[in-house]
Amino acid sequence: MSYFSYKDIYIEDGRGVLEVNILPEKHCNFDCIFCPIGRSQNKVDTQKSFDKIDSSLIELGNIIENKKVELIFINSKGEALVHDKIRDIIDLIKSKRVPVRLLSNGYLLGRDEYIQIANKCDEIIGEIKSISEEDFQKIQRPIAGYTLKEYISNMVSFNKQYKGKFIFEITIIKGYNDDEESIHKIKNIIKEISPDKIIITRMEDEIFKKKLGIADERFKEISNALLSI
């Protein structure tokens, strides 16, 4: 039985994109207060084995062959890099000559074993949601010992050696990183990481939107400021 799950194929920049979740339940090294998947019962940053994935790989291979898929986007319930078969999954997709995009929160991109895996992908998405050490611990509740400083430097060093497309996703959160000082700090981080593409987003989940969502006008202002650098 396959436990991968899929979204409907959609078109992005003229390419048919298939999003796949490879984790049976949430596994992440953070436990963000606004996580749309819920609490992290399994806060983890080392690889973990799940059920046999042979039938899941066969199903994924069949979908790629039978549908017009031009990019596979591994967007999982948490941090996909902790799946111990992530290499096999990427290798299967690449063997079908389809490019791979992988979403990571970005923290693990500083570790050798994960750098090698990420380097196999054509596109990597790294993220940032907090802009002070205090907020990082308070709202993203990472594994003990993690720091915002290390988080950013992990993405900076990763992208220095990465040959693919690094996409940097910044989430603007009301009351946490929407003031001028934060925007200035984010600009500096963008310069340090030097991504190929920047995505600015905000809280869209209905549950968190009311408290942490940012108004259209301010969001537009911040987006323009960040996208213009």
Residues at the interface with ligand SF4 (CB under 6 A): 28, 30-32, 35, 37, 40, 78, 105
Beta-strand relationship, 165-172 and 197-202: parallel
User: Which pair of tokens denotes residue 92?
Assistant: 């299967």
Which is nearer to ligand SF4, 40 or 182 (by Cβ)?
40
Which is nearer to ligand SF4, 40 or 159 (by Cβ)?
40
Report the nearest approach of ligand SF4 to the CB of residue 31 (Å).
5
Question: What's the Cα-to-Cα distance from 78 to each of 12, 65, 116, 218, rounded to whole Å?
Answer: 23, 27, 19, 29
Report the nearest approach of ligand SF4 to the CB of residue 29 (Å).
7
Which is nearer to ligand SF4, 78 or 164 (by Cβ)?
78
- What phi and psi values does residue 196 have, to the nearest 5 degrees? -80, -25
Task: Please state, in angstroms and rounded to a whole number, the distance separating the CA atoms of residues 99 and 103.
Answer: 14
Report the nearest approach of ligand SF4 to the CB of residue 224 (Å).
25
Task: Please state, in angstroms and rounded to a whole number, the distance separating the CA atoms of residues 69 and 19.
Answer: 10
Report the nearest approach of ligand SF4 to the CB of residue 53 (Å).
20
Which is nearer to ligand SF4, 30 or 114 (by Cβ)?
30
Task: Please state, in angstroms and rounded to a whole number, the distance separating the CA atoms of residues 73 and 8.
Answer: 12
